Amino acid sequence: MRMLAVLPQYRNQGIGQQLSLECVHQARQDKAAVFGLHTSELMVAARKMYERLGFEQDIELPSNFGIRYWRYVLKLGESLPAR
């Protein structure tokens, strides 16, 4: 998942989590073994959500404009909350 965003006025309503779960569901239907996403140090709430969903920080990606980025991965054999 390269980019996922929720407008500020709609945040903290579970929309980002539902969108993420739907992307993971689609990846499972495609028989993917691993689901990955990019996130940055600016996305504190998103990183916490991904970690709650079982994603683990994998590697640090090259910095851009002084901002740190990481790849998070989820092995799709692991369970997630219901959509």
Quick check: is 37 in a domain?
yes
Q: Does residue 61 lie in a domain region?
A: yes
Average pLDDT of the chain, as a whole number: 92
CATH code assigned at 21 = 3.40.630.30
d(CA 34, CA 57): 13
The pLDDT of residue 79 is: 58
CA of residue 33 relative to chain centroid, distance: 16
Is the pLDDT reported for residue 82 higher than 80? no
In a domain, 1, yes or no: no
3 C-beta neighbours (distance < 10 Å), count: 6
Note whether 58 and 72 are within 8 A (CB): yes
pTM of the model: 0.83
Task: Identify the domain containing residue 25 by its residue range.
Answer: 12-75
pLDDT for 59 equals 95
Does a structural domain hold residue 4?
no
| Mean pLDDT, range 14-36, rounded to an integer | 95
Higher-confidence residue of 28 and 82: namely 28
Counting the structural domains of the chain, the total is 1
In a domain, 70, yes or no: yes
